Amino acid sequence: MNKLELDMNTIMASTVHDVKNALSLIDDQIRDVMAEVEQASPEGAAYLNRIRLETGRINNDLVHMLGLYRMHHNTFHPSFDDVPVEEVVQDASSRYTESLAALGIELNIEMEDRDCVWYMDPALIESVLANILTNCIRYTKDRVDVQVAERDGGLSIRVIDNGEGYPEKMLNFMGTEDEQGDVNFQTGSTGLGLFFCYQIASLHRNGKQHGTIKLSNDDQGGASFELWLP
């Protein structure tokens, strides 16, 4: 690694770190204001809640940017371990406890085996799930389901909402450029997020298999995101 690249790496990391700290401060303060105005103006509180979700989104985008930058420059070092899946799912969803409550969205976590342990980088998988959850919160009607189960010899984590479902073009996000249409995952925030999720999933390997993600629309119409890890 040459000197310039090393510096760029540090600059990226420090900037992201700094902006994240600022965001967290903003988030804390909005939360305090929300608590104050909740009684007097429920509408105002709802607006503030939207702002909080946006800070969460900026946060995720920064993590994606830094992660992808590091992957591109081979300075990305995932650290895999066997971890309790429930803890990872909880860590991802606990970021949104208040937002979910404020928007009246019900979150259900369903685990086939609560003591299920899987081999992964817990921080990365947490950020993938957090990323998907922000999307769900924006597009769902009033419910998000997380289902964890073993499937095809791997671990399947599905995040399902009861909104309008993914647009047709997005379902083919892994297809050719024509099929992808506007959501070519090299462009746009949603695309970048999915690209990041896909990259993270495929870093998880076992023998010849590697992890993947799959978008579909649920039978009841909502959007379904599945992360599968070998």
Residue ranges binding another protein (CB under 8 A): 13-14, 16-17, 20-21, 24-25, 28, 66, 76-79, 81-84, 86-87, 90-91, 94-95, 97-98, 114-117, 119, 123, 206-207
What's the min distance (Å) between Cβ of 14 and another protein?
Answer: 8
Q: How far is the CB of 69 from another protein (least distance, A)?
A: 12
Q: How far is the CB of 133 from another protein (least distance, A)?
A: 14
- Residue keyed to tokens 């957090």: 130
Q: How many CA atoms lie within 13 A of 131 on its CB side?
A: 27
Contact (Cβ atoms closer than 8 angstroms) between residue 59 and residue 99: no
Q: Which is nearer to another protein, 37 or 62 (CB)?
A: 62
